[in-house]
Amino acid sequence: MREGETCLADRDAESCVDDFRWFAENFDLARKSLSFAFADRQMLAAQPFLDHRWKTERLPRREMSLDAVLAELPQNAPSPHLNFIWHTSFCCSTLIAKALDLPGHNLSLCEPQILVPVADLKRGGMFTGNRLSPRLPEIVFRLLARSPGGRVLVKPSNFANILIEDAVETTSGKSLFLYSDLESFLVSVAKSGIPLLKYARRLFSNIAGDSGQPLPWKSHEIFQMSDLEIAALVWHLQIGEFRRTWRAFDPGCIASLNCDAFLANPAATIAKLDAFFDLGLGGAHSERVLAGPLLRSHSKSPGEPYDAKRRTEEKAVARRRLGADLERVIEWSYRACSGTPRGAPLPGVIA
């Protein structure tokens, strides 16, 4: 097969299921097929995001019908072992996932694109009424769990948090609910201006109905909310998803982490996460991470210098720009979302 070529593989053709290097990159509803890109462990681990920002055009690619994949992955097979970092965004999730990556022990997959359309299909009710196989989330998790050696840890996009309970039902392994506090979340959104404010509105429109309950605000009230108010509601909705799904986990299989704990003591936090996920990274791994370039470069833009000092300075500038509006929006949001507790919003704090 030539570089960049895509072919359709069914049961009578070469399969993409058995080799982890055929990475399941997306799902096409119209064709009811999964697309795969050929990438080795080093390439997968190096990507800040395995989503639309990962340029796979020059990689060998294949496509398999969903029916063909279903036939190769029987429903009665043992649940795949897969660990997860579910997150609220702007909480060092990419940095933490990268800090837990070590060949032979754990492969961290950051925001695989394929989980987003699967999440949207669930929101659209496509797994009911025989419109689409309800096994699709399970199938995707099985494909992501294929390992080059050691564990696999997936950090889904927070647009896919609606799949948390599907992961509980169809995989073994553990999950971390990672978040920042509300003030930090709002400052992170505001510091980058219009693009991230638009991102917050888009996220709100996607996840607003995930609880299955009607929103307590009428459409005209939402329309009149400021960008910062919408961003605050987004944080509360995501924390609400975490609180709602917490009960689905067996004791010991779920933990929470405020990213401030990681920033304050990354070595200790990495060690605790290593033990929680049973990765076997060892004590020396934390020291290597601290001594290496990871904590001194931008996790989303490898090679760009970035550290705790710059992060603090950027947030201070954003706080000054927001002024009194920041505290006003925070107070308003806790009244609007009275189910979110003040202080630590989640139990099971790991650090």
Query: How many residues make up the chain in this entry?
Result: 351
The three-state secondary structure class of 194 is helix
pLDDT of residue 94: 96
pLDDT of residue 301: 64
pLDDT of residue 248: 97
pLDDT of residue 192: 79
Burial of 207 (0-12, 13-18, 19+ CB in 10 A): buried
Task: Write out residues in the chain with pLDDT < 70, as ranges.
Answer: 1-14, 299-303, 305-306
Predicted structure pTM score? 0.93
The three-state secondary structure class of 61 is strand
Determine the Cα–Cα distance for residues 167 and 85; give it in Å rounded to an integer: 12
Return the C-alpha torsion angle 61, 67, 73, 79, nearest 10: 100
Of the candidates 173, 163, 109, which has an alpha carbon nearest to the alpha carbon of residue 137?
163
Give me the CATH topology for the region 79-336.
Rossmann fold (3.40.50)
Determine the Cα–Cα distance for residues 41 and 50; give it in Å rounded to an integer: 13
For the stretch 34-81, pLDDT in tens is: 999 999 999 999 999 999 999 999 999 999 999 999 999 988 889 999
The three-state secondary structure class of 103 is coil
Return the C-alpha torsion angle 170, 111, 95, 252, nearest 10: -10
Q: Which residues sit opposite 85 in a β-bridge?
A: 176
pLDDT of residue 270: 97
The DSSP 8-state label assigned to residue 2 in this structure reads: -
